[in-house]
């Protein structure tokens, strides 16, 4: 109600911005609600095409107007939820354009060295210590002096003029003796050298080639750490540790840590498998599995749901709609549509299941998702029809039926809206539920085939006798109508399944859907 079309950043682009107009004339008092039909709560496509650039129209149509009064608010597009976070603000600031200038050559970067630090086979504490050394964050006298914290910058152990990080770890006489006693080869003008980066480059990569491929990554960080500890022991405790003691201590700690983190090939306790009684089954109530299909390059998103009763599908639905802003929005819209369908079928005593953990987090913390405020408002209204609403997470491998329905609905994009004026149609016209009907066995005879109203891809409805695919389930037979094609003057079923398992596989890889009656049937002659 208070968002201006040409002034406020309401277009869901990155970053958000006002709409782009076709003409230079802009009405400053044109609000976004003027572009929405107050009765149907849909966008006025004629106004959009008359005022807005064509590139902005798909972005506008991805916004779902509220069905009831809901005041406008703010949403941060740097996060999925729409809530601002310091981390997202940091990355947004880094993306801002800055004036470029030619910097003087400063030598190679140390990013590869910093990356290699986190690949060392040692403790997190030592990885962080080596990272501090490379970043210049170690509190040596030289570092403290130039940060105006200390008064002296000389080395307290050897009296050198400056105690830099490289001097402490590689050039100080106790450090030189420690490296000379270690199995790592010491080479004049190569290692140790006057460059900290060159020394660590040698330890990371070049030393391994000189030691016949022996990996030293598990013990040289311990040498660096105990050289630092020996220096602190001398300053704060007046204890002089010999280079041999420092090296032995480092090697012992490295050996103990490696042994503690090596898996034992011969465990003392063998795992014992407890047999499970295969005849035990838990009675589970019917459940509605949902899934949405979304792709950034498609104009439509797919929605699919299926009601399962003890591994038996009893009701399902699939449809396509205009693509929303995110995959999460597609999942949420699938849930809302499934709730509406089940309310119309008076099936409000069952639970829901999804393979989208973000959707469950969204429903648990609705106040943290301002991006989906319209959908959340509708969810609150629909939830009132369910005595005890529940939704749980299931692995994707257990949700293949709903996933297949959603993908098939999205894949039918070229067939969903043929011969339809898209300027007057906001939603895909083909939506519906596929029923699995339970009928007695004796009704399935050639002379008494049941009459079923079905949709075919020409988007017209015919009424005719078809011979259904059947499979036996206990004392009753379930009618499953799948793979219906139109050829000549009749509809026919293209495949007969031999058993129940074949049918279940086909449900998981649904090719064409059969839609139930929603409007008055059209005569068969209208197929043309």
- Cα 369 to Cα 17, 69, 162, 365, 366, distances in angstroms: 20, 18, 55, 7, 6
On the question of pLDDT at 223 being above 80, the answer is yes
| Count of other CB atoms within 10 angstroms of residue 106 | 6
DSSP, collapsed to helix, strand or coil, labels residue 497 as coil
On the question of pLDDT at 63 being above 60, the answer is yes
* Mean pLDDT value across residues 241-253: 93
CA angle 464, 505, 432 (to 5 degrees): 45
0.95 exceeded by the pTM?
Answer: no
User: What span, in angstroms and rounded, lies between the C-alpha atoms of 326 and 308?
Assistant: 27
Structure token digits, residue 326: 């995110």
* Mean pLDDT value across residues 465-483: 34
Could you tell me the residue ranges of all domains in the chain? 1-77, 111-259, 287-411, 436-527
Is the bond leading into 15 cis (omega within 30 degrees of zero)? yes
More confident residue, 394 or 100: 394
On the question of pLDDT at 353 being above 90, the answer is yes
On the question of pLDDT at 451 being above 50, the answer is no
DSSP code for 301: E
On the question of pLDDT at 74 being above 70, the answer is yes
Interval 356-408: pLDDT, tens: 999 999 899 888 888 888 888 889 889 999 989 999 999 988 898 899 888 88
Most confident residue range from 187-196, 226-235, 308-317? 226-235
Q: Residue 103 — very low, low, confident or very high, per pLDDT cuts 50/70/90?
A: low
Interval 5-42: pLDDT, tens: 888 888 888 788 888 888 888 888 888 888 888 888 88
On the question of pLDDT at 463 being above 50, the answer is no
- 490-524: b or e for each residue (b if 16 or more CB lie within 10 Å)? ebebeeebeeeeebbebbeebeebbbeeeeeeeee
* Mean pLDDT value across residues 415-424: 31
* Mean pLDDT value across residues 188-207: 89
* Mean pLDDT value across residues 444-450: 35
More confident residue, 321 or 450: 321
* Mean pLDDT value across residues 475-484: 36
Give kind and range of the element (H or E) at residue 1.
none
- pLDDT at position 222 is 94
Interval 266-319: pLDDT, tens: 544 444 444 444 444 456 678 899 999 988 888 888 899 998 887 778 888 888
Report the CATH number of the 287-411 domain.
Answer: 3.30.420.10
On the question of pLDDT at 126 being above 50, the answer is yes
Q: Are strands 391-393 and 351-354 parallel, antiparallel or unpaired?
A: parallel
Q: Residue 264 — very low, low, confident or very high, per pLDDT cuts 50/70/90?
A: low
**Residue tagged 């391994």 (tokens):** 208
Interval 398-413: pLDDT, tens: 898 899 888 888 887 5
* Mean pLDDT value across residues 85-102: 76
To the nearest whole percent, how much of the chain has pLDDT over 90? 27
């Amino acid at each position: 109600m208070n968002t201006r079309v040409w002034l406020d950043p309401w277009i869901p682009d990155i970053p958000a911005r006002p709409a782009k107009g076709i003409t230079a004339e802009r009405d400053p008092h044109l609000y976004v609600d003027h572009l929405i039909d107050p009765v149907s709560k849909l966008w006025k496509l004629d106004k959009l095409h008359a005022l807005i650039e064509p590139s902005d129209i798909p972005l506008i149509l991805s916004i779902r107007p509220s069905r009831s009064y809901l005041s406008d608010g703010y949403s941060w597009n740097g996060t999925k939820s729409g809530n601002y976070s310091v981390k997202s603000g940091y990355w947004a600031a880094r993306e801002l354009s800055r004036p470029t200038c030619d910097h003087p050559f400063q030598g190679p970067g140390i990013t590869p060295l910093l990356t290699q630090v986190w690949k060392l086979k040692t403790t997190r504490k030592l990885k962080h210590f080596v990272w501090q050394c490379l970043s210049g964050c170690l509190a040596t006298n030289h570092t403290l002096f130039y940060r105006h914290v200390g008064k002296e910058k000389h080395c307290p152990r050897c009296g050198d003029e400056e105690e830099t990080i490289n001097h402490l770890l590689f050039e100080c006489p106790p450090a030189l003796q420690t490296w000379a006693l270690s199995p790592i080869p010491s080479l004049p003008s190569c290692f140790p050298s006057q460059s900290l980066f060159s020394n660590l480059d040698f330890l990371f990569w070049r030393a391994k080639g000189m030691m016949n491929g022996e990996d030293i990554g598990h013990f040289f960080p311990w040498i660096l750490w105990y050289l630092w500890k020996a220096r602190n022991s001398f300053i704060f405790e007046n204890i002089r540790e010999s280079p041999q003691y420092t090296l032995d201590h480092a090697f012992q700690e490295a050996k103990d840590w490696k042994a503690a983190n090596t898996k034992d090939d011969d465990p003392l306790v063998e795992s014992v498998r407890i047999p499970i009684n295969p005849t035990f089954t838990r009675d589970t109530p019917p459940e509605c599995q949902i899934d949405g299909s979304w792709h950034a390059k498609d104009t439509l998103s797919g929605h699919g749901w299926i009601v399962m009763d003890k591994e038996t599908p009893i009701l399902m639905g699939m449809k396509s709609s205009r693509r929303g802003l995110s995959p999460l929005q597609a999942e949420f819209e699938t849930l809302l549509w499934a709730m509406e369908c089940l309310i119309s079928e008076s099936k409000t005593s069952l639970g829901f299941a999804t393979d989208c953990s973000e959707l469950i987090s969204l429903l648990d913390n609705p106040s943290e998702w301002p991006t989906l405020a319209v959908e959340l408002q509708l969810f609150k209204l629909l939830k009132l029809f369910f005595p005890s609403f529940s939704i749980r997470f299931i692995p994707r491998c257990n949700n293949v039926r709903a996933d297949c329905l959603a993908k098939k609905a999205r894949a039918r994009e070229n067939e969903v809206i043929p011969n339809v004026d898209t300027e007057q149609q906001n939603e895909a016209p083909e939506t519906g539920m596929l029923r699995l009907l339970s009928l007695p066995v004796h009704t399935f005879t050639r002379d008494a085939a049941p009459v079923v109203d079905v949709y075919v891809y020409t988007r017209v409805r015919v009424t005719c006798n078809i011979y259904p695919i059947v499979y036996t389930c206990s004392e009753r037979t379930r009618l499953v109508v799948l793979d219906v094609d139109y050829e000549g003057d009749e509809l026919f079923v293209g495949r007969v399944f031999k058993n129940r398992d074949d049918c279940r596989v086909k449900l998981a890889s649904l090719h064409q859907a059969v839609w139930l009656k929603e409007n008055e049937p059209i005569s068969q002659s209208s197929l043309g």
